Amino acid sequence: MTSPDAAPKAGLEGVVATSSAICHIDGGQGVLAYAGYDIHDLARDASFEEVCHLLWHRRLPSRAELGDLQSDLAAARRLPEAVSRLMRSLPPGNAMDALRTLVSSLAHSDPDVGDRSPAAAYRTAVRLTAQVGSVVAAWGRLNAGGGVIEPDPALGHAANFLLLLTGRRPSELEARALDVALILHADHELNASTFAARVTAATLSDLHSAAVAGIGALKGPLHGGANAEVMRMLLEIGADADDARVERTIRDMLARKTKVPGFGHRVYRTEDPRATHLRRMSQEIGERSGSTRWYEMSRRIEAVMKAETKIDANVDFYSASTYYMLGIPIELFTPVFAVSRIAGWTAHVLEQYANNRLIRPRAEYVGPEYPQPFAPLDRR
């Protein structure tokens, strides 16, 4: 932590709050790495399950270790009956509200709850990673009027999510597209939700509470939700809009100083390295489905933004069209972020537990001058 007399920085920008071996970002060079592995290599050649192991253990798994992890995730994917009943009792509404409630309720069925030993905390991390995906998919399916589907132990994490949400087995390309998206969103150093989770864990609260803190931070529109706004923008422009209309809409937004969602990043000064892969997935899914209109619109918007503002697309911009073409409802876009980021949140909580110190920064006092003269009540 910085010293109490250091100059305060709004939003703690640039302040180093802890040391971590999980994630490295070089915003100037456009580098994102998990435990030393470049995100481009992971997105091309790894699976989400391999990345989970990497975040939790700082090394990629052997074939046997990966098999064990896949089996553990499969065993934990089915939701406890009490949680399923609670889900059905909740009124329709904000999916993040439901996720916050349901993840909290999972603690009541976790056999390791309250045990912060490394082995028990790791088991909970695996369990939570499996269950958050099931919660989001089941909530989405119930709200669409469908029935809850049993997970398929033969499918991986991404494929199971799409099965539980849509009711059909995804194609290999669809499963891989979501798998890549989960890899790209799995961690991003001390972003708001991860920092919230670590602060909670530093009090020696349980892992479920830390995850709920992360979900609460993610719900805020300054952290989560940008890709949903991107998709709403695309839909408002209209799938049948020609290039001239697309360009006119974006230039009008810029003239009104209206923020164009999906562009710019607090950390990166180059293209967000995650956008590179989601751009490709958006194109490939569009081509496979027979309609590349959302991708083409996105490319046109990106070209206008580059020409007018020199601002690059971020991870949210192309994840919007990718998720939409995968059949994921817009209201689930932010919860899907949590389906991925739960791996990073839990990795940071495990790291915090391993070398814990209560996170207690200081604030620069800017209130009334001290000491203030105190007047008794009858003289005020």
Active-site residue list: 265, 316
Per 3-state DSSP, what percentage of the chain is helix, strand, and coil (rounded to 5)?
A: 60, 5, 35
Determine the Cα–Cα distance for residues 129 and 165; give it in Å rounded to an integer.
16
User: What DSSP character marks residue 90?
Assistant: S
Determine the Cα–Cα distance for residues 223 and 185; give it in Å rounded to an integer.
13
Q: Answer whether the bond into residue 371 is a cis peptide, omega within 30°.
A: yes
Determine the Cα–Cα distance for residues 211 and 217; give it in Å rounded to an integer.
10
Query: Which residue in the block uniquely carries the two structure tokens 């994917």?
Result: 77
Three-state SS at 206: coil
Three-state SS at 310: coil
User: Long-range contact list for 283-286, CB < 8 A, 24+ apart?
Assistant: 284/173, 284/177, 285/173, 285/174, 285/177, 285/322, 285/325, 285/326, 286/321, 286/325
Three-state SS at 357: coil
Residue 269, CA atoms < 13 Å, CB-side half-sphere: 4
Torsion of CA 38, 40, 42, 45, to 10 degrees: -140
Dig out the tokens for 345 from the structure: 């949140």
Residue pair 71/125 in contact (Cβ under 8 Å)? The answer is no
Determine the Cα–Cα distance for residues 323 and 227; give it in Å rounded to an integer.
9
